[in-house]
Amino acid sequence: MKMKKIKLVLNNILIDFGVTIDKMYLFGSRAGEKYGRFSDYDILVVTKQDLSIEKKKILSKNIRKKFAQLHIDLDILIKSSNELKQSRNKTGSVIKQAIKEGILL
């Protein structure tokens, strides 16, 4: 139930900012079986369009604020499809880990 709510809230915020989602991944401890009740949600949002660093900062701030109001501890990474292609195979990349071990939402 909580994942449906997270996905819906993220979709709504991104739509409000005119951002089109390509994919979303849940990764980290919540994507596996080793998480506790205080574990946060790690989300990678892949956008269809390239976004400026400033727009990503604004989006991240708004997303974190909204989820704090909902009492949901959430970390967010925002990358475009183009950025994903560039960083998905870099050794030690969080993006690589998110795609490999994460759950496509």
DSSP code of residue 46: E
φ/ψ (deg, to 5) at 33: -105, -5
Q: What is the pLDDT of residue 87?
A: 77
- In terms of Cβ atoms closer than 10 Å to its own Cβ (0-12, 13-18, 19+), residue 46 is buried
Q: What is the pLDDT of residue 32?
A: 84
Whether residue 55 contacts residue 83, with contact meaning beta carbons closer than 8 Å, is answered with no
For residue 1, pLDDT over 70 is answered with no
Q: Mind listing the domains of the chain with CATH numbers?
A: 1-104 (3.30.460.10)
Using one digit for the tens of pLDDT, what is the confidence trace for 14-35? 999 999 999 999 999 888 888 8
Among 95, 96, 99, 93, which residue's Cα sits nearest to residue 31?
99
